Every structure is written in structure tokens, then in C-alpha cells.
Amino acid sequence: MSGESSAGNIRIFDTTLRDGEQAPGCSMTTGEKLRIAKALSDLNVDIIEAGFPAASPGDFEAVQAIADRNLGPVICGLARCNAGDIEKVHAAVKGADRHRIHVFVATSAIHREYKLKMAKEEIIKSAVGAITMARELCDDVEFSPEDASRTELSYLAEVVSAAIEAGATTVNVPDTVGYTVPAEFDRLFRYLQEHVERIGEITLSVHCHNDLGMAVANSLAAVSAGARQIECTVNGIGERAGNCSLEEVVMAIKTRAEYFGLQTGINTKRLYPTSRLVSSITGMHPPRNKAIVGENAFAHEAGIHQHGMLQHASTYEIMRPEDVGLSKSNLVLGKHSGRHAFRARVTELGFDLDEFETNRAFQEFKKLADKKKDLYDGDIEALIMSAGNTSSGPWTLKSLAVQTHSDEPATATVVLIGEDSVEMSKSAQGEGPIAAAFQALEQATGVEMVLSKFELRSASIGEDAQGEVTVTVEIDGQSFRGRGTSVDIVEAGCRACLEVINRTLRRRQRGESKGDTVRAARANI
Ligand code: KIV
Ligand code: ZN
């Protein structure tokens, strides 16, 4: 089989920034996407699908910014089978030395009849036309027959053959709606290899969704049946129940190397830091019991397990926490820690800060260390993530005062500083401190919003732990997520809200009205 990556014989195609971003509430700014792209490059993924450039000017800009950094992995963009989309992908990705155009069209009967209203032959014609055009612009072209797992096998083989004839270099087989099961998917991959003559000339790829909780199992079945590229996302984020989880599929191949006889080029020590980065940015935190990166993944509570572990770790541990980048000592720094120690820990946690960002984060660290005796990894991560958010204004929170009494409405006063350094102070009342503070923020900034979700988690341990708040708010009929951190949870909520307000105001300044344009564009496919 062709298509081996330089360091392994399985290519890891990461689509966190494209399919992952399509998860509700996971929209990211260009700056956030760049941070994730850098982390993916440190993780040593083979391909980064950076976005869907035709979806919105913001998407185009993000893909282009990532490609222009030339981070090392192949940079890929998604396109429907039309000239406009393909040209946009090419324009966005061409800055990277190695780039790819990924075109797709649905092939299943249900999509043909109800979504595309196209006959089988028309779909093949459209795919062939798009691949031919993409190949004129780029040597590396991937084709995906969307909803492949629900497509008639003989027709799927026909489509795949036509795609290869037209010049596709990778053919991806998506289980778009997470419908297949491992044995059936194994048959599908074997069928394609038996019925598509030139299949050995291309890289065969797999792309699974997790609607029935089998995305990783189905991807592994495809790999056993000959797929050599796996499409996946960090923490398994993605539409609905998400995509195949990168960390799970990679660690399955590594841990069961004697079974699969395959390897990826992933630097597995970067798995945990990358997972933390993605969850901090998206506000989607993996459940405690999530394999590989969940809080409990390496915790052994039961006495019998602990006893066994003390005798020999391999009694109950099939992977070592260090192999996925989980540090053993969580207690890190304190008031007397210097800049050097701080910087070293920050790098270990997977952040790549420049001089300016390091100085700013170190100042915040010193302020926090005055309030809190012990600083844990979670505190440092929370601090860096929130320092990144507030940097881009127009408003910063100077102070917040809240008065509550169990029998009366709460009163909150916020003082904000604008870009022109002018202070704005507003007070408001509400049922509880959060409602009062949010109303004060609305009045001060003029941005109206409806709070639909308020999620609070502790960034580390102890009663002085920082609270990490993720808010979901509706503005102009669209949903946005923001996050904020503070040892005061009302202030953390205000910071989270202000992050969304700032993003909204910046977007309005740029004249953009749409928030989640990726899903909007996809709805029109
Ligand atoms: O799930 C899917 O079918 C996709 C394709 C565009 C590859 O994401
Ligand atoms: Zn998908």
C-alpha cells in the first residue's frame, strides 16, 4: 500500500480545525486556530485540515494564516465540487510548501435523492471535474465520497475508480453519520481493494463519526483492512457525537503494536498538552473517564488495583502516563518561583509563548501567587489561556464589585477600560450576582445578549482554586462561547462574557455579521 508517512506507516490527518470546529459552540478565532495548528505540528501530525475556506472570509483567513506559517505538516482545505470552492482552497493553502485540496460530494442514495437531487452519473461527473481541476492546481488531491458507508458498494467502487482515474492521490471513506460497525466497515474496505483496480496507487483513508460510539473501533477496523490514513480530531470533538478521537486511535495503534504491526509518527508525549490546549480553547472538556486524556484515565482508586500497581505497574496499567505527556507531579510553582522555572513549566504544558506573552503571563502568575499559595498545572493553563483572551479588547475589566443578600436582588458594578483608556462604569441589579454583573456589562458595552449556559469548573484543587467559567450566550440570534478565569467565580463569569462581547464588537467593526458561518455554509451544501 502506498502513502506511508515519514515517521510511521499510518498517516494522521487531523481535522480538529475543520470537522472539529463544526461542533456546536466550538468556533475558534484565527489566533486560537494558529495556536492549535502549532500544537498539532509539535504533535507531528502528517496533515492538518485547517478549514473550509469557502465557508466564510474568516475561515479563508484562518486557513491562509496557518498555511503561511509553513509549520511542517501538509496543510489541507476542504472544498465542494465546484470551481469557486477549489480556487479558494488553493489560494488559502498555497503558502505552505506541502499543501492539499480535499474535495467531496455525497454518494449515498439518500443524499443523492434528497440533498443533491442528482443522478449517480451526474455525481461521478461532478467529482471527476472537481478532481481534475484540483489536480491542475495541486499535486496532492484528496477525494471523499460523503456518506460512503451508506452508499451501494458497487456504486462506491465505481466512484472511487473514477476519482483515481481523475487524479485523486488520497481517497477517503467517510462514515459521515456514524452508522457503520467494525465488521461491516472491514468488509467495505476489503471490497474496495478487490474491486478498484488502481487502489494500490493511492492512499486509502478513513473518516469516522461517533454517533454510535464506534468511531475509533471503526477506524481501527479500516486500518486492519488496508486504510493507511486516519482522519481524527483532538478529544474527538466534531459535529454531533464527534469524530474519531486522535489520542485514542494513536494510543491503540501504539499500545497494540504487536497486533496491528503499524505505527504513526505522533509524538505521544504531546497528546495530553494538546488535549488541554484544545479543551481550554473550545471550552469542551473531556469527561473524567475519557480514555487517554480524561482526569481518571490513569487514576487507580480501588485498593486491589493500587496494591497490584505497587507490586508492578503493568498489572493494571497498559500505558504509562508519561507516554501521553501526563506529568506525575501536579504541584508546580509558588510565590518564590522565578521566571525561568515558570517558562520551563509553561513549555512542558505545551504552550509556545513569545517573549511578550511570557512576560505578560509571568506578571499574571505573580499576581495569582499572591492570592494563592500553591499553583498547579491547571492554574498555569487557565492563566495563560485567559491572558490570551483579554489581550484583544476593545474592553478590559478593571474592577467588579458585587453586593448580595439572600432576601434582595444583587447589585453589581463593573468598571471597564476602553481602547482609548477611558473608563466606563455601570451598576445593575439582578436575581443573583451573575445576572446583575451581566446586565452591568450589557449596559457598559451596548451589546445585548441572552445567557443560555453557565458552566463552572475548578482549574485546580483546594478552596482557593481558580474557577474556570464557560458561558454560552446568544447575540443577534447566534450562539457564542466564551471563557474566563479568576479565584472569584462571578469575576470569572464576567471575563467569559466580556470575551464574547469583545469578539462581537471586533466582528462588527470588521463588518461581519455571521458567527458560525461554517455550519451555515455546510447547511447549504
Ligand atoms: O463526515 C464527512 O463525511 C466529512 C467529509 C467532508 C469528509 O466530514
Ligand atoms: Zn466528518
Q: Which fold has domain 395-509?
A: Double Stranded RNA Binding Domain (3.30.160)
Q: Is the CB of 104 under 6 A from ligand 1?
A: yes
Q: Is the CB of 445 under 6 A from ligand 1?
A: no
Name the residue of 146, 172, 231 whose CB sits within 8 Å of the most ligand 1 atoms, as the mutation to test its pocket.
146
- Protein residue closest via CA to atom 1 of ligand 1: 176
User: Is 215 or 381 the better-scoring residue by pLDDT?
Assistant: 215
Residue 525 in this model has a pLDDT that exceeds 60: no
Residue 7 in this model has a pLDDT that exceeds 70: no
**Among the listed ranges 58-67, 356-365, 396-405, which one has the minimum average pLDDT value?**
356-365
Q: Is the CB of 515 under 6 A from ligand 1?
A: no
Residue 520 in this model has a pLDDT that exceeds 60: no
Which ligand has an atom closest to residue 177 CA?
A: 1
Can 11-282 and 395-509 be said to share one CATH topology?
A: no
Q: Tell me what the pLDDT averaged over the chain comes to.
A: 89
Name the residue of 144, 171, 518 whose CB sits within 8 Å of the most ligand 1 atoms, as the mutation to test its pocket.
144
- Give tens-digit pLDDT for 219-277: 999 999 999 999 999 999 999 999 999 999 999 999 999 999 999 999 999 999 899 88
The cell numbers describing 68, all together, are: 503561511
The number of the ligand 1 atom at minimal distance from the alpha carbon of 147 is 3
Q: Which DSSP category does 482 fall into?
A: E
The closest of 233, 276, 280, 245 to 16, measured between CA atoms, is: 233
The cell numbers describing 234, all together, are: 483532538
pLDDT of 482 reads 84
Q: Is the CB of 146 under 6 A from ligand 1?
A: yes
Q: Is the CB of 377 under 6 A from ligand 1?
A: no
Ligand 1 centroid distance, CA of 207 (Å): 7
Ligand 2 centroid distance, CA of 282 (Å): 18
Ligand 1 centroid distance, CA of 249 (Å): 18
**Among the listed ranges 58-72, 130-144, 163-177, 451-465, which one has the minimum average pLDDT value?**
451-465
The cell numbers describing 124, all together, are: 461521478
Once rounded to an integer, what is the mean pLDDT over residues 4-22?
85
Once rounded to an integer, what is the mean pLDDT over residues 438-448?
96
172 touches 180 (CB < 8 A)? no
Residue 461 in this model has a pLDDT that exceeds 80: no
SS3 sequence of 137-165? HCCCEEEEEECHHHCCHHHHHHHHHHHHH
- Write 120-124 long-range contacts (CB < 8 A, 24+): 120/155, 120/158, 123/159, 124/158, 124/159, 124/162
Ligand 2 centroid distance, CA of 60 (Å): 19
pLDDT of 523 reads 39
Once rounded to an integer, what is the mean pLDDT over residues 184-204?
98
The cell numbers describing 107, all together, are: 454518494
80 touches 46 (CB < 8 A)? no
Q: Is the CB of 179 under 6 A from ligand 1?
A: no
User: Is 307 or 31 the better-scoring residue by pLDDT?
Assistant: 31
Ligand 2 centroid distance, CA of 19 (Å): 6
pLDDT of 420 reads 87
Residue 516 in this model has a pLDDT that exceeds 50: no
- Protein residue closest via CA to atom 2 of ligand 1: 176
- Protein residue closest via CA to atom 8 of ligand 1: 19
Distance CA(421)–CA(24), nearest Å, equals 35
User: Is 28 or 413 the better-scoring residue by pLDDT?
Assistant: 413
b/e 341-361 (16+ beta carbons within 10 angstroms → b): ebeebbeebbbebeeebbebb
User: Is 387 or 313 the better-scoring residue by pLDDT?
Assistant: 313
Q: Is the CB of 207 under 6 A from ligand 1?
A: yes
Beta bridge partners of 76: 49, 100
Any idea where the domains of the chain sit in the sequence?
Answer: 11-282, 327-389, 395-509
Handedness of CA 288, 289, 292, 297 (dihedral sign): positive
The cell numbers describing 316, all together, are: 493494571
116 touches 123 (CB < 8 A)? yes
- Give tens-digit pLDDT for 81-129: 999 999 999 999 999 999 999 999 999 999 999 999 999 999 999 999 9
CA distances from 375 to 330, 363, 370 (A): 9, 14, 10
How large a percentage of the chain has pLDDT more than 70? 91
Please tell me the pTM assigned to this model.
Answer: 0.83
pLDDT of 449 reads 93
**Among the listed ranges 165-169, 276-280, 424-428, which one has the minimum average pLDDT value?**
276-280
Superfamily of domain 11-282: Aldolase class I (3.20.20.70)
- Give tens-digit pLDDT for 286-335: 998 999 999 888 876 556 666 666 677 777 789 998 899 886 555 568 88
User: Is 452 or 316 the better-scoring residue by pLDDT?
Assistant: 452
Residue 513 in this model has a pLDDT that exceeds 70: no
Name the residue of 18, 49, 78, 85 whose CB sits within 8 Å of the most ligand 1 atoms, as the mutation to test its pocket.
78
**481: three-class secondary structure by DSSP:** strand
Q: Which DSSP category does 466 fall into?
A: P
Which ligand has an atom closest to residue 85 CA?
A: 1
pLDDT of 240 reads 95
Residue 30 corresponds to which amino acid?
T
- Protein residue closest via CA to atom 5 of ligand 1: 146
Q: Is the CB of 176 under 6 A from ligand 1?
A: yes
The number of the ligand 1 atom at minimal distance from the alpha carbon of 106 is 3
The number of the ligand 1 atom at minimal distance from the alpha carbon of 148 is 3
Q: Is the CB of 175 under 6 A from ligand 1?
A: no
Beta bridge partners of 264: 10
Torsion of CA 428, 429, 430, 432, to 10 degrees: 110
125 touches 100 (CB < 8 A)? no
* Main-chain dihedrals φ then ψ at residue 252, nearest 5 degrees: -65, -45
Q: Is the CB of 11 under 6 A from ligand 1?
A: no
Residue 522 in this model has a pLDDT that exceeds 60: no
- Give tens-digit pLDDT for 329-377: 555 688 888 888 888 888 877 677 888 889 988 988 898 888 887 788 7
Name the residue of 104, 149, 233 whose CB sits within 8 Å of the most ligand 1 atoms, as the mutation to test its pocket.
104
Ligand 1 centroid distance, CA of 150 (Å): 13
The cell numbers describing 119, all together, are: 443522478
User: Is 525 or 208 the better-scoring residue by pLDDT?
Assistant: 208
Cis peptide upstream of residue 394 (ω within 30 degrees of 0): yes
CA distances from 352 to 34, 158, 242 (A): 11, 47, 27
Name the residue of 81, 173, 176 whose CB sits within 8 Å of the most ligand 1 atoms, as the mutation to test its pocket.
176
- Give tens-digit pLDDT for 165-181: 999 999 999 999 999 99
- Give tens-digit pLDDT for 116-159: 999 999 999 999 999 999 999 999 999 999 999 999 999 999 99
Which ligand has an atom closest to residue 49 CA?
A: 1
Q: Is the CB of 174 under 6 A from ligand 1?
A: yes
